[in-house]
Amino acid sequence: MVTARFANEYELQKVVLRCHNVLWERHGFDPAQAFDEFSKLLFVKLYDEMTIAGARTAIQRGEQPEQFAARIRWLFDQANETPGFDSIFTDNAINLDNLAIYEVFRALQHYSLMDTTSQVQGADVKGTIYESILGNTFRGELGQFFTHRSIVAFMVRFVGIDAEKVVYDPSCGSGGFLIMCAKIIREQTQRAQPNLPPQEMERILKEYSRRCLIGTEINERTARVARLNLLMHGLDYSNIFTVNALKTEESTNERLKALVGENTVDVVFANPPFAGYEKDPAVLSKFELGQNGRGRVSSVTREVLFIERIIQVLKNGGVAGIVIPQGIFTNRNLAHVRDYIRRHTQILAVIELPDWAFIPSGTSVRGSLLFIRKLAQVPEDYNIFMKRVEHIGFTSTGRPDDRNDLPQTIAEYQQQDTRYLVSINELKDRIDAKFYIPEHRHIISLFHHNPKHKLVKLSDIGSFYTEKVNPRFTSGEIRLVETSCVDPVTLTISPKHIKGQDSNYTSLKRLRAGDILISRRRAYRGAIVVVPPELDGALAIPEFSVLRLHEGYDPDYVAEILRSPQFLQLMTIYSTGEMSGRIAEKDLRRLSIPLPEDHQRYGDAFKAHRQRIEELRHSIAAEENQIIELASSLIEGR
């Protein structure tokens, strides 16, 4: 009989790993196969717990594997024919041998899945199983990553839901957003009716999920995860459809088309798939953003089409919370997407997450959260709540973190804290939060107005060298400068010496002594150096900009201003991209720096300070060697 619940997710993960090892040792399954078969056994256990408290999935004293496995197979068949449990597994067979079934249930039999779901704080059991068994490889193959529960909870609470609002997730994954909605409805119901019997609460939540929770998922395996997850949480899963959300109108399921047609949904929560480009003309032709403005289809990333589809299905006044890759907010070639959003919706909020927020989920894509309200007539003037959060309840390794700025952020949004309000009319092309938050606007202002010194554009004091060299046509050895070759602490360059024909690059920049080499990728590192005479003629990769100053401008002065904390932050603010972030050379050229009339004097002072630092560095190294020598003499008895 079931005797305990999982104490926490770590304990659950250990048991799941033990079960996975059984399937691997017995059958050599790949992660996807192991997941499918393990899901079937979990399904059987859940069915047994929900019907007669788990008695039939407990191994009896002296029972042999073949006897036990036969009962499990029979239960699986029974569950697939039982209303409320059917329509989850289409292949009605457990593809495991008797001993594998026996050993998995031996690991599971003392735990209650039902109690785990209701008692482990925030536990998404299927999400944990998914992460434990499938790992990053399978996620990558599907182009999926699952939103951390801390972010899911924030998004749902930020928007606010009630028991009458229809919620849709067009790429529902394991169903996390939908389950969080049900959790919040449970909280609201408990506050309103604190003495409600458990059976009545279960009925209310099941009815709510049947009326108001809708999910579509393109992958059948993942859709099954969502159905199982909702089932485990006591919810109705009949509104989980296996379909491409961009093609719902092609479905033969009339109920699906009625549920998610245009102007049918109150709230959308979505983490759209960031999985390459949509190239199918039949799909692209259905979307304004899938065409080039002249009626011709043009391939775009799928999240772009998801944004348009989300806006389509929302009712007038409906609200959406969407996880969006950073490029949508900043990249020049996606300006038309931002224009579409502004024409059809009121932007309620943009919340920028830490760069690492989705690394625990299996992707290094930088994402932000966009909250919008669809309106037939968008106001000409309104305020947008824009904030960058640093702490989000978990670390870059996925471990829980007591520091969490998200609950306070909800309060600040509800109070319309003026520190974070930006007028829509202040927005230029980009709509990322980091460009408009107060501390960053202050940095930008420093390089727009200086009360004492004139400001000059970098393009006015030098030329950005653009001549390209193909090293494969170069005979002999080349000195290659990559970003890792520049030490931002010692300000030295240690080039790689390779044969030209062995280079992975076909376009490099030739350096000259005195050039200022500027790494545009991860600008905050400060990898900005003056090329020394001994590296005249070396070749730098395209990640660098090469600023060749006009005569009369001091390279030591310019380089130190570019390495200043304020200018590095300015470069970071202007950086775009979904992975590591880089500032476009076009933007870099337009940035200004202060230039006193006697700037060479300041350049000499900077140079003297650098020389003193180098002398101190040598002195420190000498002292460290003395310590090592003294310790060695004592150890060796000299």
Residue 400 has pLDDT above 70, yes or no: yes
Domain that holds residue 558: 455-597
pLDDT, mean of residues 478-483: 93
Does 321 share its domain with 413? yes
Quick: pLDDT tens for 226-249: 888 888 788 999 999 999 999 999
Out of 88, 119, 150, pick the residue that ends a domain: 119
Quick: pLDDT tens for 7-53: 556 666 677 778 878 888 888 887 777 778 888 888 888 888 888 76
CA–CA separation, 274 and 142 (whole Å): 10
CA–CA separation, 613 and 609 (whole Å): 6
CATH of the domain at 144: 3.40.50.150
Asked if residue 491 belongs to a domain, the reply is: yes
Asked if residue 366 belongs to a domain, the reply is: yes
Does 141 share its domain with 115? no
Quick: pLDDT tens for 281-327: 888 888 999 987 667 888 888 899 999 999 999 999 999 999 998 88
Does 416 share its domain with 459? no
Asked if residue 345 belongs to a domain, the reply is: yes
Does 194 share its domain with 268? yes
CATH of the domain at 573: 3.90.220.20
Residue 92 has pLDDT above 80, yes or no: no
pLDDT, mean of residues 320-339: 90
Out of 436, 470, 488, pick the residue that ends a domain: 436
pTM score, two decimals?
0.82
Does 491 share its domain with 631? no
Asked if residue 493 belongs to a domain, the reply is: yes
Does 352 share its domain with 381? yes
**Residue 193, CA distances (Å) to 189, 198, 484, 517 in order:** 6, 11, 61, 67
Does 427 share its domain with 522? no
End-to-end CA distance of the chain: 71
Which carries the bigger pLDDT value, residue 544 or residue 356?
544
Does 335 share its domain with 369? yes
Asked if residue 2 belongs to a domain, the reply is: no
Does 13 share its domain with 48? yes
Does 622 share its domain with 568? no
Asked if residue 542 belongs to a domain, the reply is: yes
Domains: count for the chain? 4
Strand stretches in 405-540, DSSP E: 421-423, 455-457, 462-464, 468-469, 477-481, 486-487, 492-493, 496-499, 508-510, 516-519, 528-530, 539-540
CA–CA separation, 394 and 324 (whole Å): 20
Does 94 share its domain with 149? no
Does 321 share its domain with 360? yes
Asked if residue 390 belongs to a domain, the reply is: yes
Asked if residue 86 belongs to a domain, the reply is: yes
